[in-house]
C-alpha cells in the first residue's frame, strides 16, 4: 500500500508528503545539508549511540512532561526552531507554526528571514515568542529590528553565531538557488506545474512573499533577488564576542546563543552574560564533517548546565530523541525540519498532529523509564550503546 493511502504519523511520513507537494528546489532547500551531508546523517544517527533504560514497578500514574523554557511554562521540553522563509513552504508559514506552538503550549521562534513580519505573528497569537537574529553589517538595522521584535512581544532573543559565511549547500547549487547558476525559467516552470497545491496555497494565497522583517530596508520588497543581494551584502563575517556584549547591553530580555559546539565557546557565552546556548550545527547546513550536536551535548551540559540553560537542536525526530537530549543535560530541544515538513505536508493540522505525537511519545517514554517529572530525566535513565564511547 502506498504511504499516501494511510494517515501520516511520523516526521518521515510528513517529509515524504512535503516532497510530494513542494517544488523540488524548495524541498531540497529544506531537506539538504552542506557539502557531502555527512553531518546531516550524523545528527540523526548519533542518537542511536544512546539507549534509554527501562524501569518497572514505579507508579507512573501522574507523568508530567511540562517544564520551564526561557522563563515560561511549556507543555514539553520542545520549541520550534527558527527557519528562514517558512512562509514559502506553507501559506504564511510562520503564523501557522506560531499558532500550532501556542495550541500545544511550547515556544515558537521566528527567523530574521521569516516571510511574516514579527507584527503579523503577534497579531496571530498575542503572546510572547522568540526572535532569532543574524548579525547584519548595518548595526542600525539590527537595533531597529530588535526594537520591533520587542514591541511585538518577543522576550527571548536567539542569536545565531554559526553563520560567519553561508555553508555550501550543494543541492541549492544544483537547483540554481545560489550563485549565478540560476535555473532556466523552463525548469522552474516545470517544477511549479508539478506542484499545483503549492502554487495555489503559497504561490497565490500566500502573498506577499517579501521577507517581512526586512521589507522596509531593501530597495524592492517584492523582488526576492533584491533580498538575496541585500543578505549577501549584510552577512557579517567580522562578528566576535564583543558584538554579543553589545547585544547584551541593548537587549533586556533573555539572550540565547545558538550554534555552540565546544565547551570553551559555551563558557564564553556564559561570560558575556547569555542566559542560554543552543548546542547546534545549524541542522548540518554550515560546516559539514563537524560532529553531531547530540555527541557534543554532554560535555557542554556538564560544563555550563548548572549556570545557564542548555538547549540542543539537530536530528531530533521523535519524543524519545527529546528524552535522550534531556537525559544528557538539555533543558529542551528545538526542532527545525520536522515542523516544516509537517506543515508543508499536512498543513496546520499536520503540525498539530506531529506535535501531539511528540507529546505522547515523551509521556509514554517517561512512564516506561519509571519517572513522573522531567527533572527525573537525567543520566540515570540513559546509557551508551554497547561498543560506543561518549565524547
Ligand X SMILES: Cc1cc2nc3c(=O)[nH]c(=O)nc-3n(C[C@H](O)[C@H](O)[C@H](O)COP(=O)(O)O)c2cc1C
Least distance in angstroms from the C-beta of 74 to ligand X: 17
| Nearer Cβ to ligand X (124/322) | 322
Structural contact between residues 356 and 112, judged by C-beta atoms closer than 8 angstroms: no
| Nearer Cβ to ligand X (167/371) | 167
Work out whether 142 is an interface residue with ligand X (CB under 6 A).
no
Work out whether 315 is an interface residue with ligand X (CB under 6 A).
yes
| Nearer Cβ to ligand X (210/368) | 210
Q: Which of 39, 43, 67, 195 binds ligand X (CB under 6 A)?
A: 43
Work out whether 33 is an interface residue with ligand X (CB under 6 A).
no
Q: Which of 34, 65, 83, 371 binds ligand X (CB under 6 A)?
A: 83
Question: Catalytic residue among 62, 72, 209, 282, which?
Answer: 282
Q: Which of 8, 23, 82, 93 binds ligand X (CB under 6 A)?
A: 82
Residue nearest to ligand X (CB): 336
Nearest to 287 by CA among 110, 136, 112, 161: 161
Q: Which of 113, 121, 161, 231 binds ligand X (CB under 6 A)?
A: 113
Q: Is 282 a catalytic residue?
A: yes
Q: Using CB under 6 A, which of the segments 82-90, 140-148, 185-193, 297-305 binds ligand X?
A: 82-90
Q: Which residues bind ligand X (CB under 6 A)?
A: 29-30, 43, 81-84, 111, 113, 132, 160, 258, 280, 282-283, 285, 313-316, 335-338
Instruction: Point out the residues that are catalytic.
Output: 282
Amino acid at each position: 500500500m502506498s504511504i499516501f493511502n494511510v494517515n501520516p504519523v511520523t516526521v518521515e511520513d510528513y517529509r515524504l508528503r512535503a516532497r510530494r507537494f513542494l517544488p523540488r528546489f524548495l524541498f531540497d532547500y529544506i531537506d539538504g545539508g552542506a557539502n557531502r551531508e555527512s553531518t546531516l546523517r550524523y545528527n540523526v544517527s548519533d542518537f542511536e549511540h544512546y539507549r534509554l533504560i527501562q524501569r518497572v514497578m514505579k507508579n507512573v500514574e501522574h507523568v508530567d512532561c511540562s517544564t520551564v523554557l526561557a522563563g515560561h511554562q511549556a507543555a514539553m521540553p520542545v520549541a520550534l526552531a527558527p527557519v528562514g522563509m517558512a512562509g514559502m513552504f506553507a501559506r504564511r508559514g510562520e503564523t501557522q507554526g506560531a499558532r500550532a506552538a501556542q495550541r500545544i503550549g511550547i515556544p515558537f521562534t521566528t527567523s530574521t528571514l521569516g516571510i511574516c513580519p514579527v507584527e503579523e505573528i503577534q497579531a496571530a497569537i498575542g503572546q510572547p515568542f522568540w526572535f532569532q537574529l543574524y548579525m547584519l553589517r548595518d548595526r542600525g538595522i539590527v537595533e531597529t529590528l530588535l526594537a520591533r521584535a520587542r514591541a511585538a512581544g518577543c522576550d527571548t532573543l536567539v542569536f545565531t553565531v554559526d553563520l560567519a559565511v553561508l555553508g555550501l549547500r550543494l543541492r541549492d547549487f544544483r537547483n540554481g538557488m545560489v550563485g549565478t547558476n540560476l535555473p532556466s525559467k523552463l525548469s522552474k516552470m516545470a517544477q511549479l506545474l508539478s506542484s499545483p497545491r503549492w502554487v495555489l496555497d503559497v504561490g497565490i494565497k500566500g502573498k506577499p512573499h517579501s521577507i517581512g522583517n526586512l521589507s522596509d530596508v531593501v530597495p524592492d520588497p517584492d523582488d526576492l533577488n533584491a533580498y538575496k543581494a541585500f543578505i549577501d551584502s549584510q552577512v557579517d563575517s567580522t562578528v566576535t564576542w564583543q558584538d554579543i556584549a553589545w547585544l547584551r547591553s541593548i537587549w533586556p530580555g533573555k539572550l540565547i546563543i545558538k550554534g555552540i559546539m565546544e565547551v570553551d565557546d559555551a563558557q564564553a557565552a556564559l561570560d558575556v552574560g547569555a542566559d542560554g546556548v543552543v548546542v547546534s550545527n545549524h541542522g548540518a547546513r554550515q560546516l559539514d564533517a563537524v560532529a553531531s550536536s547530540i555527541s557534543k551535548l554532554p560535555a557542554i551540559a556538564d560544563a555550563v548546565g548548572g549556570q545557564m540553560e542548555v538547549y540542543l537542536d539537530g536530528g531530533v525526530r521523535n519524543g524519545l530523541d527529546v528524552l535522550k537530549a534531556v537525559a544528557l543535560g538539555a533543558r529542551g530541544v528545538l526542532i527545525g525540519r520536522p515542523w516544516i515538513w509537517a506543515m508543508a505536508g499536512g498543513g496546520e493540522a499536520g503540525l498539530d498532529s506531529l506535535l501531539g505525537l511528540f507529546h505522547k511519545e515523551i509521556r509514554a517514554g517517561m512512564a516506561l523509564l519509571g519517572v513522573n517529572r522531567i527533572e527525573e530525566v537525567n543520566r540515570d535513565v540513559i546509557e551508551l550503546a554497547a561498543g560506543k564511547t561518549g565524547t
